[in-house]
Chain A
Amino acid sequence: MKVHSSGLVRLALVAGATLALFVLGLSSTADASFAPAPSVRAGDIFGSDVAAGKAEPPPPVKLSGAKKDSRAADSCEPQALRAAATKAEPLTAEVAEKIGDSELAGGRGVSCVKPVLAGATGRSERDAMLAAQKRKAPGTVEASRRAATGLKDPSTTEVVDIPEWCLEHADGQWRGYRTEQCRIGDVLVVYYVYHNGVWQQVGTALALEYSFAYTSDLIDRYAFQLTVRKYWGRGAGNFEGWFSVVAGAYCTNDCKESNGGTGLRPGRFDRGVVNDAESYWESTRSSEPGDIGYSYPSWEWHVDGLGFVPTQARTTTTPLIRCDNAFSTDGNESGDPETFAARQPTVGAGCVFPRATPVMTYSKTGSYPTLAAHIEAAQNSGLPGKYPDGPTLTRLQDPVKKRANGRTACPPSWVRPTGKSCDEYPFRSTKQGASTQEPQGTARTFAPPDLAWCEMDSAWGVPTGVTGPTGWSSCMIPKDDNSQGGAQLSPFYHGNRILDGDPFLVRITS
């Protein structure tokens, strides 16, 4: 039996500027007095309270508006079957006998693939397969870290473990986070023989198709991983060692192939065999400061075997990926012109799934409890940014406007109680801040008797009991809570590549 070897099909892409892979990291030997590494690491996108284990990460979100797979979802439609049949060689007697009907010899064998919802057939095998995977799957935080770390190393070719959160939602829907998107869905393979003017179904097989794509905020290289695992078969769909599964990857728009990709291995469409493939891509539009590029990596795959011609490939395409170099530290610099302030190397590109809204988590029992409590009270009074469904906040990077937001919500004339500073919500680093919000609202607070820790001087005339979606809240809270809690927004913005004007939400947990 001839088995097609799996291979990687590379399609020519529109060439952009040549991009040198970026590897982050200053090597240094720390003195003995240096502190331990910070709790936020590469791939941490949920905030420090989650990174430190003081809050659970939010659940993955189903992505609406994901681009439809480019090929017809149902390659089993009659027209496709008829077209494929014209290319099929006549079935041999051996194959017909294998099928169990020698009279089919001379007929034309065709196979097709289409997505289906999981049903009762093969369910126990399917669920057992997923359960076994879940036992070894990394949790949300660990999976995100592994993915980010792996992408930074251009020599990485290893397939990564599918995260637990993805295995818990095997429903054919894309879902995930800012830097990871996953879809696990069932596909049905149907085998037909066309003979003497009659179409006869001679077998079916069910498989899981795993599409897992991940990016990193630290590099403009990203990955799209495909896995195909058959879990049930009947008739020709139950032939072992007979069929292979073959895949090829491509990418559209601002992307080019990066090293490390593989085809489906081992490439056998047999029950329980895990066929994995990995593709790596780089942005072609991230070499200059301010560059932004968009792309859609895809996999095409089909089942191939002696006697049965596949109709057309099954295609799986990731949600939109955005790579930017907006965080480059090059650019205008203040200060005296100095000859050594020469143009710095362009660094800082990274990629995300821009349609996944980032979520910053603070825990009321975490590192910044009063900050968390203030945000919760403010959101519950109707102010925007509340996870999961509230109007989003949008990032603001204009320093003059940020300062104006701060001064409006927290006037310098207010004397700060000892050890406290003024906290405002929405954050001054958002367009919903006190000065830049539209429409303009008014101030509110949650001073006693609402919240004992929210210290406000009644002489300032900031009312309590105010609700509604416009306006802002101010509270004097411990300075270290305010400063350090606010500083956590920095790695959150970076880790999620939240650009000026990008939306995000804030989640408060117990």
Chain B
Amino acid sequence: MATALIWVEYNRFTIGGPDTLPGTTELPYANGLVAPTTDPVAGAVIVTGVQDDQVHVDARALPARPSINADVWQDVAEVGISWPGGPMRVIGADVIPPSALTFTPHQPPGPYRLLVCGRERDAGETRAPADPIEQYLVRVWPGRAPDRLIKTTSRTSTYWQLATPRQGETFTEAATGFRCR
């Protein structure tokens, strides 16, 4: 298990490999929390409430799906990624020193499930230093399954689900086509 305060910018951080550059122009419009990306290739993007600040990330690789107490999280979603192989990293803003967290050893290539839980997501830009820090739980394990939106209660999540991607922006909708309400 690896935990860290990660710097984010433009309301996002990503999951990628050791040679993945920070940043993506993609966002999880489908569920307002997490989506697989095409850039970074075979990665994922998590959208945050804060635009330019730190969030707390707890990331871990597991052999199978964990049980999660959704009651303590605002938003919970699970998507699939097609991992090319290698260690997995949480990658934050493009800053100096780099803000990144390697949370797995080398993972073999193949399909993986990515579960993300988020809370304290709605203070956003109005978050004062004394306010709770946004928190994210990231869990990965090998396997295939339909993508799931398990819980969505934050205003942040709702905002991005209702937003419309601009022409040219990617929009990743899971095979099940789930969309909140």
Contact = CB atoms under 8 A, between A and B. Distances in A.
Tell me if chain B binds chain A. yes
Contacts of A397: 94-96
Interface residues of A, number: 70
Given A28-B82, A31-B36, A340-B87, A329 B9 contact: no
Contacts of B150: none
A344 B17 CA distance: 10
Contact of B25 (A329, A402, A488): A488
Given A332-B97, A367-B169, A399-B7, A48 B25 contact: yes
A403 B53 contact: yes
A33 B111 CA distance: 13
B51 A421 contact: yes
Contacts of B33: none
Contacts of A51: 168
Contacts of A344: 18-19, 87, 102
B82 A483 contact: no
Contacts of A484: 10, 25, 27, 166, 169
Interface string A339-352: 11100110110000
B72 interface: no
A487 B98 contact: no
Nearest to A401: B95
B180 interface: no
A402 B94 CA distance: 11
A480 interface: yes
- In this complex, which of A35, A336, A428, A482 has the most chain B Cβ atoms within 10 angstroms of its Cβ? A35
A333 B42 contact: no
A340 B4 contact: no
B25 A38 contact: yes
Contact of A412 (B95, B125, B174): B125
Interface string A296-340: 000000000000000000000000000000010111111110111
Contacts, number: 208
Contact of B82 (A29, A333, A336, A428): A29
Main secondary structure of the interface of A (DSSP, over half): loop
Nearest to A421: B125
Contacts of A493: 94
Interface residues of B, number: 76
B167 A52 contact: yes
Nearest to A38: B39
A30 interface: yes
A25 B87 CA distance: 15
A35 B171 contact: yes
A398 B94 contact: no
B64 interface: no
B147 interface: yes
Interface string B143-167: 0000100000000000110011011
Nearest to B8: A399
Contacts of A489: 10
B19 A329 contact: yes
A491 B21 CA distance: 9
Nearest to B12: A487
B42 A33 contact: no
12 contacts: A26-B41, A30-B82, A39-B169, A331-B97, A331-B98, A336-B4, A397-B95, A406-B125, A413-B126, A483-B11, A484-B25, A494-B94
Interface of A: 24-40, 48, 51-52, 327, 329-336, 338-341, 344-345, 347-348, 367-368, 397-399, 402-403, 406, 410, 412-416, 419, 421-422, 428-429, 479-480, 482-484, 486-491, 493-494, 500
Please provide the 6 A-B residue pairs with the shortest distance between their CB atoms, ordered closest to farther: A490-B23, A335-B4, A340-B105, A39-B168, A35-B170, A367-B166
Interface of B: 1-7, 9-12, 17-27, 36, 38-42, 51-54, 80, 82-84, 86-87, 89, 91, 93-106, 109, 111, 124-128, 147, 159-160, 163-164, 166-175
